[in-house]
Every structure is written in C-alpha cells, then in structure tokens.
Amino acid sequence: MLVEFSVVPLGKGESVSQYVAECLKIVEASGISYRMNPMGTVLEGDYDQAMSVIRACHMRVMELCPRVITSIKIDDRKGKQNMLDSKIASVERRLGIELRK
C-alpha cells in the first residue's frame, strides 16, 4: 500500500520546514520505505505500519502547535510491492525517457 500524507501546522507562519523535519525524523526512525516530495511524504508498507507513522507525526506536531491538519491519501492494491519505484518506472517505460527526480 502507498500512503501519501502531509501534516500542516496552523498559525505558525509560511515556513513549515521545522515541522516537516520533525515528521521526517519519525518516518526515518520507523524503517518504513518512503519518498519525500515538496507537498508531502509517501510511505510504502502495510496499513497498520503506515497509519502508526502518520499518527506519530501528527501527534508530534500537535505537541508543537495548537492546531494541525493532516491529510492522507491511500493507494491500496493487492499483491503489489515496491510501488514507490515501479509506478514511476512504468511511466518512464511508456515515455521512453527517465524522468527528473
């Protein structure tokens, strides 16, 4: 399963990189496969593992801020693994080029 999430602290100004860094410490320590992107982070793992990481991130930012919005998008496909890389590779094969990373 792929799960993309973002944790947004409200009332903390325009720059939120310190809160993103707090979340990425949790993600990195979890051992789950992930990719950070400019708008969020994508996790690959089972449901319980991914939701546990997201909950920990949400709760950590709640410790630092009075209000937090966490958005979650799930792509759950039976029998598929390594989707972080294979979904991109599939598009690259169709295009005949390697995409910018």
What pLDDT band is residue 1 in, cutting at 50, 70 and 90?
very high
For 25-77, list the strands marked E by DSSP: 33-37, 40-44, 68-75
CA dihedral of residues 99, 4, 13, 61 (deg, nearest 10) = -140
Per-residue pLDDT reduced to its tens digit, 27-49: 999 999 999 999 999 999 999 99
Residue 101 confidence (pLDDT) above 80: no
pLDDT of residue 13: 83
**CB neighbour list of residue 85: distance below 8 Å, 6 or more residues apart:** none
- Across the chain, mean pLDDT equals 93
The predicted pLDDT at position 36 comes to 95
DSSP summary character for residue 79: T
* Annotated domain spans of the chain: 2-95
Architecture of domain 2-95: 2-Layer Sandwich (3.30)
Q: Identify the pLDDT of residue 81.
A: 81
Q: In this predicted structure, what is the pLDDT of residue 76?
A: 93
Contact 54, 34 (CB under 8 A): no
